[in-house]
Chains A and B, each alone.
Chain A
């Protein structure tokens, strides 16, 4: 066990500090308007990558530093603590990219990884469909083999960042005869290709973060497949484990920053002439939220440790995802309860609350995580 940072971790933290103090992006300048904000965030990721600080654990030959996952976590912690904005390329960096690193060909890595890091190319994840959410293996998007290319037909939905993406990781059926899990391939569609129609959807928060994506006879060259044909299911599970494991650890840091900000806001607030922070119920809510975030941090650290030891994230990432949900939704509840009208009638905390409700849905719902724990960890029968 080791709680203090290693020398390498300390060095990289210092590097982040000197990068930030050299006049890096100020999250307070983040534009309100959605498209302007995306452009601003791309520029931020480009500069961060120029300084060599994006996904430092990726291999050196593809633009990373071959650092440890621990060092990568330190960079994310330091950036979040300094109030730096999120990276717009999250799907490429944290969900699809790791599967390209693990399962892609040398040529695919050369082609895609550097631009994922620089933010030049944004990726989206075309897994869910109108008829296939939790039951992902029921997906009906088809990729027909035409010799030197596939032709994609079907519809994806809830596809985050699709309208800004250059590439989409599409799960498509390539063997219609095979059993549900066995006939799926992990293809990469060019979002600029003819036949793709992206229709943004307004989320609960009011922002068009996800979209419907229609594929109408879209040609996909044969070299745009990750792994072997019909072997896409296990690669999709690899992507999802990254979404539930290391990506959760990164999110945990952001929640910590939000709780600190909530406490700072509450410190300035009075109700009925009394400081809000003197109210016993308010103190209890804040303490409980802190406790759940600390538990999340410890659970994530353990999962990341297991991942470093085994080289890949395992089933325990479902526990991380459940704990993230518990902590994030409690933080949302606490913000509204503690700040009261100051949160309900202002955009910031209201959105934190509303966005927290997605945590029990994306990356597999809480019920699906419990199914995984029950069936795959505890060995209970399939329900």
Chain B
């Protein structure tokens, strides 16, 4: 087994660093906290670079690991994007052979994922429903929560029940019956919204569904879970770098605080946790790309460990900063919040740990790959 990035993947990472340093400095995330965030230039560029469709084609040299490398850089800057959400919807659209795929990956328009509901988890069957009227007209009704950037994208991908089975409806936010209310969120740079849908008209061509849907959604959710873990670990890496730099500069008792072993060991533990979690992300991403037998289990392992690790890392960074870490003035909270948001997105450690238990204990043979 070899978890080293290929030359192409390493180059992708370098271009992501270059592009995001320019287009998504931490000040962009900060502007969302102030309520005057505007990221359309960033979204246009991500689409132009082809990154919304990264890893989709089978001859793409980047694969799911490529998506994770991009997501990590997004997380490092707490950049306001729907990169991972779009990757999820694009994978479902591709598996359903939908004509919508092209505009989704072209970012024409940018898209938001409306999946979670007020009284459900990420894997619950949706209560939101598409009903068929007598004349064959379709209407979408329900309520969604935690829809990132819903107020500024041009398309909502709404998970709903259609004829008793799950499907995704693609509707514009401006359509009659759609109301969008920004909500507080642990990470304001994600601009989370509540979306209410009341008898919103939908056409057949705007629906992703059919026999391939359920399997495609399960796979795409695993991809998104791993990619959001990568994003959270990117945020954690940035928090740790800030904390290490601070520990080398801040003096107390006449010496830099990084010289106190309690602080040094805290930072060392965080580094080790982040590295091990990143290794698990790389493995899960490669397993999903190759669709190995243990891919779903590997995704659950990466999410359960990676989300918990990212949280421990940013909490430790906060501790290393002392009082200044507890302010909004310092940049730390920007990445701190991103790590927390990512930890719960697509299911947190408890849900994924339960999945691991079910997969591990339901059958005799060992789950570990080779």
Contacts and interface: CB of A to CB of B under 8 A. Distances in A.
A2 B283 CA distance: 9
B259 A382 contact: yes
A239 interface: no
Interface in A278-298: 283-284, 286-288, 290-298
B369 A381 contact: no
A350 interface: no
A263 B265 contact: no
B38 interface: no
B290 interface: yes
Contacts of A305: 2-4
Interface string A42-79: 00000000000000000000000000001000100100
Contact of A1 (B258, B264, B267, B286): B286
Contacts of B361: 263, 277, 283, 286
Q: Give the dominant DSSP class at A's interface.
A: helix
Nearest to B285: A1
Contact of A299 (B276, B287, B357): B276
Interface string A298-315: 110110011001000000
A298 B3 contact: yes
Contact of A380 (B1, B5, B9, B248): B248
Nearest to A323: B276
A361 B275 CA distance: 22
Contacts of A322: 269, 272
B282 A380 contact: no
Contacts of A287: 304, 353-354, 356-357, 360
A156 interface: no
A379 B268 CA distance: 10
A295 B268 contact: no
A198 interface: no
B269 A298 contact: no
Contacts of B360: 263, 286-287, 290
A295 B276 contact: yes
B216 to A, nearest CB: 22
Size class of the A contact interface (CB-based, 8 Å): 35 or more
Contact of A316 (B258, B267, B275, B298): B275
A111 to B, nearest CB: 35
A294 B276 contact: no
A256 B369 contact: no
A57 B2 CA distance: 17
A373 B272 contact: yes
A37 B221 CA distance: 50
A294 B4 contact: no
B301 interface: yes
B267 A378 contact: yes
A264 B366 CA distance: 10
Contacts of B247: 380
Contact of B265 (A293, A299, A318, A374): A374
Contacts of B354: 283-284, 287
Contacts of B265: 367, 370-371, 374
A5 interface: yes
A379 B248 contact: yes
Interface in B321-352: none
B292 to A, nearest CB: 6
Contact of A77 (B248, B267, B287, B370): B370
A3 B369 contact: yes
Given A294-B368, A295-B301, A374 B272 contact: no
Nearest to B63: A1
Contacts of B113: none
Interface string A303-339: 0011001000000101100110000000000000000
B237 to A, nearest CB: 12
A260 interface: yes
B301 A290 contact: yes
Contacts of A21: none
A228 interface: no
A373 B267 CA distance: 9
Contacts of B2: 1-3, 70, 301, 305
A297 B368 contact: yes
B271 interface: yes
B277 interface: yes
Given A319-B275, A373-B271, A3 B301 contact: no
A378 B271 contact: yes
A1 B5 contact: yes
Given A263-B360, A373-B268, A378-B268, A299 B279 contact: yes
B174 to A, nearest CB: 42
A249 to B, nearest CB: 11
Contact of A319 (B65, B272, B283, B368): B272
A5 B369 CA distance: 11
B261 interface: yes
A380 B3 contact: no
B218 interface: no
Contacts of B280: 294-295, 298-299
Nearest to A319: B272
A316 B361 CA distance: 33
A222 B64 CA distance: 56
Given A263-B361, A295-B280, A297-B368, 10 more contacts: A2-B1, A3-B286, A77-B370, A264-B364, A290-B301, A294-B301, A298-B280, A301-B2, A305-B4, A381-B255
14 contacts: A1-B63, A1-B65, A3-B292, A5-B370, A256-B366, A298-B280, A301-B3, A369-B268, A370-B268, A370-B272, A373-B272, A374-B258, A374-B261, A380-B244
Q: Which 4 A-B pairs rank lowest in CB-CB distance, beginning with the nearest? A: A374-B264, A287-B357, A373-B268, A298-B279
Interface of A: 1-5, 70, 74, 77, 81, 256, 260, 263-264, 277, 283-284, 286-288, 290-299, 301-302, 305-306, 309, 316, 318-319, 322-323, 367, 369-371, 373-375, 377-383
Interface of B: 1-6, 9, 63, 65, 244, 247-248, 255-256, 258-261, 264-265, 267-269, 271-272, 275-277, 279-280, 282-283, 286-287, 289-290, 292, 298, 301, 304-305, 353-354, 356-357, 360-361, 364, 366-370
